[in-house]
Every structure is written in structure tokens, then in C-alpha cells.
């Protein structure tokens, strides 16, 4: 059965798909595809994984409300774990690009919010 189905893409709702795609594109070093549909609209933007794995996409949700993690008022629906070999470099880069630290207590990972408020982790790990 696995040959007939494959996870292709993870899609994040956000108010600014182009801006969030640029954030993750810079962080990951991935290319931002042209927006789908009206290029001036930017309602859907895809980042292609250059290694051929799962892609990231971003779709406009004008009513988007960011998760309030770790509070459960508006819980996160998912988060991304990004494994990095050079934690300090990627930590600084994430902050320069607009991420904010949500939790920095673990020895092997830090939890951030992207510019739209989605939680993600940089995991200190050998790649």
C-alpha cells in the first residue's frame, strides 16, 4: 500500500503566505516557488525541498489566529522539528529572520515561534 500513497507537503495557514515562505526559505535554504494563481495575490506559496522530500506550503487565512503555545487557549495543531548540526548559527539566523524564542529549557532543542506564530523547534543534532 505504501507505494500508492506518499506524504508530499505540509501546509501552514497564515495571514501572509509570501512572507512566511520567505522566512522558512531563508531558514532552510529552500527555493520559493511562484505563488499559485494570481501572482499579486500570493494566497498560496510552496517551498520545494531540494532533497526531494516533503515540501512546505503556506496558504492565506484572513481569519488566522496564532497558537498561544504553551497556553492551551489556542493550541498548536502541529509544529516542525528542524534538525541542525550547527545550533548557534541557526539559532542566530532564526532570530534575525523574525523568529521569537518560546522555550529555551531543553539541552537539545529550543522552541520558537515563526513570524506568524507557529511553533517550531531547532533540534541540536548531528544531521
Q: Is the dihedral of CA 50, 11, 35, 63 positive or negative?
A: negative
- Domain coordinates of the chain in residue numbers? 1-64, 66-127
Whose grid coordinates read 493550541? 75
Confidence at residue 124, expressed as pLDDT on a 0 to 100 scale: 87
Question: What is the rounded distance in angstroms from the CA atom of residue 7 to the CA atom of residue 49?
Answer: 13
| Per-residue pLDDT tens over the stretch 79-108 | 899 999 999 999 999 999 999 999 876 778
CATH architecture of 66-127: Roll (3.10)
pLDDT of 1 over the 70 cut? no
1-64 has CATH 3.40.720.10 classification: no
Question: What is the rounded distance in angstroms from the CA atom of residue 88 to the CA atom of residue 63?
Answer: 35
Amino acid at each position: 500500500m505504501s507505494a500508492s500513497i506518499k506524504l508530499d507537503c505540509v501546509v501552514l495557514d497564515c495571514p501572509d503566505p509570501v512572507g512566511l515562505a520567505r522566512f522558512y526559505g531563508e531558514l532552510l535554504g529552500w527555493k520559493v516557488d511562484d505563488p499559485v494563481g494570481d501572482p499579486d495575490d500570493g494566497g498560496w506559496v510552496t517551498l520545494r525541498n531540494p532533497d526531494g522530500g516533503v515540501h512546505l506550503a503556506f496558504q492565506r487565512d484572513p481569519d488566522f489566529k496564532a497558537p498561544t503555545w504553551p497556553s492551551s487557549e489556542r493550541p498548536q495543531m502541529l509544529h516542525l522539528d528542524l534538525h541542525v548540526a550547527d545550533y548557534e548559527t541557526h539559532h542566530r539566523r532564526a532570530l534575525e529572520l523574525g523568529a521569537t524564542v518560546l522555550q529555551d529549557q531543553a539541552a537539545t532543542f529550543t522552541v520558537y515561534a515563526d513570524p506568524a506564530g507557529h511553533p517550531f523547534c531547532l533540534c541540536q543534532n548531528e544531521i
